Amino acid sequence: MLEAKSNDELPPIPSKRYFTIGEVGELCGVKPHVLRYWEAEFPQLKPVKRRGNRRYYQRQDVVLVRQIKSLLYEQGYKIGGARKKMVDNPEELNKASIETDDFKSLVKDLEEVIARL
């Protein structure tokens, strides 16, 4: 069901405010237990917790999960090395996180708004 896909093959991130752990798993191609483990290992990954200790991820969390996945699965870093890279070079990772699918989706949405006007 959830194979290790490259970030290029992942679906675009919908324009929602919050995502459940299952939705993030689908969007990033990882299982929920992996996301919970990464929360413990990467201090930057802190989803909002609400009633019943349910996790709600925001868009920047989804982008961060994709970055972590890329570092671990595609670039071959171990957990410690990925954590260090994220702390040492956050601006480099932010540049790498810009996704063309997101821009295409944004352009499409803007074109629809312009057409309505």
Using one digit for the tens of pLDDT, what is the confidence trace for 48-70? 999 888 999 999 999 999 999 99
pTM to 2 decimals? 0.71
Show me where the domains of the chain are located: 7-116
Lookup: tokens for 94: 């932010």
- Topology of domain 7-116, CATH: Multidrug-efflux Transporter Regulator; Chain: A; Domain 2 (1.10.1660)
pLDDT above 60 for 94: no
Lookup: tokens for 53: 């200790």
